[in-house]
Amino acid sequence: MTVTIVGAQLGDEGKGGVVDLFGDATDVVVRYQGGDNAGHTVVAGGEEYKLSLVPSGVVRGKTGVLGNGCVINPETLFEEVDALRERGLDPDVRLAKRAHVILPFHRELDGAEEAAKADSDSEIGTTGRGIGPTYEDKIGRRGVRVGDLLNEDALRDRLEYLVEAKRAIYEDVYGFDASETDGAFDIDAIHEQCLAYADRIRDEDLAVNAGDYLADRIADGDNVMLEGAQGTSLDIDHGNFPYVTSSNPTAGYAATGSGLGPTTVGQGEIVGIIKAYLSRVGSGPMPTELDGDQAEYIREEGGEYGTVTGRPRRVGWLDMPMLRHAARANGFTGIAINHLDVLAELDEVNVGHAYERDGERIHTLPATTEAWRDCDPVMKSFDGWSAFDPAVVADAGYSALPDNAQAYVEYVEAELDTPAYVLGVGPGREESIVRQNPFE
Ligand code: GDP
Ligand code: IMO
Ligand code: MG
- Regarding whether 239 and 104 lie in a shared domain, the answer is no
- Regarding whether 372 and 311 lie in a shared domain, the answer is yes
Contact (CB, 8 A) for 69 and 258: yes
What is the residue-level pLDDT of the chain in tens, covering all 440 positions? 999 999 999 999 999 999 999 999 999 999 999 999 999 999 999 999 999 999 999 999 999 999 999 999 999 999 999 999 999 999 999 999 999 999 999 999 999 999 999 989 899 999 999 999 999 999 999 999 999 999 999 999 999 999 999 999 999 999 999 999 999 999 999 999 999 999 999 999 999 999 999 999 999 999 999 999 999 999 999 999 999 999 999 999 999 999 999 999 999 999 999 999 999 998 999 999 999 999 999 999 999 997 667 889 999 999 999 999 999 999 999 999 999 999 999 999 999 999 999 999 999 999 999 999 999 999 999 999 999 999 999 999 999 999 999 999 999 999 999 999 999 999 999 999 999 999 99
Tell me, yes or no, whether 437 lies in a domain: no
Residues 287 and 284: their CA atoms lie apart, in Å, by 10
Is 132 near ligand 2, meaning CB less than 6 Å away? yes
Instruction: Spell 30-55 as b/e; 16+ CB within 10 A means b.
Output: bbbbbbbbbbbbbbbeeeebebbbbb
| CA of 174 relative to ligand 3 center, distance in Å | 30
Is 313 near ligand 1, meaning CB less than 6 Å away? no
> Residue 401's pLDDT is what?
98
Is 52 near ligand 2, meaning CB less than 6 Å away? no
Tell me, yes or no, whether 438 lies in a domain: no
- Regarding whether 317 and 214 lie in a shared domain, the answer is yes
Is 124 near ligand 2, meaning CB less than 6 Å away? yes
Residue 107: give its domain's CATH number. Answer: 1.10.300.10
- Regarding whether 351 and 227 lie in a shared domain, the answer is yes
Neighbour tally for 364: CB within 10 Å? 17
Q: Which atom of ligand 1 is nearest to the CA of 273?
A: 3
State the pTM of this model. Answer: 0.98
Tell me, yes or no, whether 401 lies in a domain: yes
Q: Which atom of ligand 1 is nearest to the CA of 7?
A: 3
> Residue 315's pLDDT is what?
97
Mutate to test the pocket of ligand 1, among 20, 31, 339, 346 (most ligand atoms within 8 A of CB): 339
Residues 127 and 183: their CA atoms lie apart, in Å, by 21
- Regarding whether 385 and 317 lie in a shared domain, the answer is yes
- Regarding whether 398 and 349 lie in a shared domain, the answer is yes
Residues 18 and 300: their CA atoms lie apart, in Å, by 22
Tell me, yes or no, whether 121 lies in a domain: yes
| CA of 309 relative to ligand 2 center, distance in Å | 10
- Regarding whether 185 and 221 lie in a shared domain, the answer is no
Residue 296: give its domain's CATH number. Answer: 3.40.440.10
Q: Which of 53, 55, 54, 49 is nearest to 87 (CA)?
A: 49
> Residue 121's pLDDT is what?
87
- Regarding whether 263 and 374 lie in a shared domain, the answer is yes
Number of domains the chain contains:
2
> Domain range for residue 398?
2-92+209-432
Which sign does the torsion angle of CA 47, 52, 55, 58 carry? negative
| CA of 86 relative to ligand 2 center, distance in Å | 27
| CA of 420 relative to ligand 1 center, distance in Å | 17
| Residues, CB within 5 angstroms of ligand 3 (ion) | 12, 39, 307
Among 203, 238, 267, residue at a domain's last position: 203
Active site residues: 12, 40
Instruction: Give the dihedral of Cα atoms 343, 9, 53, 252; nearest 10 deg.
Output: 140
- Regarding whether 411 and 348 lie in a shared domain, the answer is yes
- Regarding whether 224 and 321 lie in a shared domain, the answer is yes
Question: DSSP per residue over 361-380, as a string?
Answer: EESS--SSHHHHHTPEEEEE
Among 203, 218, 245, residue at a domain's last position: 203
Among 203, 224, 247, residue at a domain's last position: 203
- Regarding whether 343 and 380 lie in a shared domain, the answer is yes
Q: Is 359 exposed, middle or buried (0-12, 13-18, 19+ CB in 10 A)?
A: exposed
Tell me, yes or no, whether 146 lies in a domain: yes
- Regarding whether 119 and 241 lie in a shared domain, the answer is no
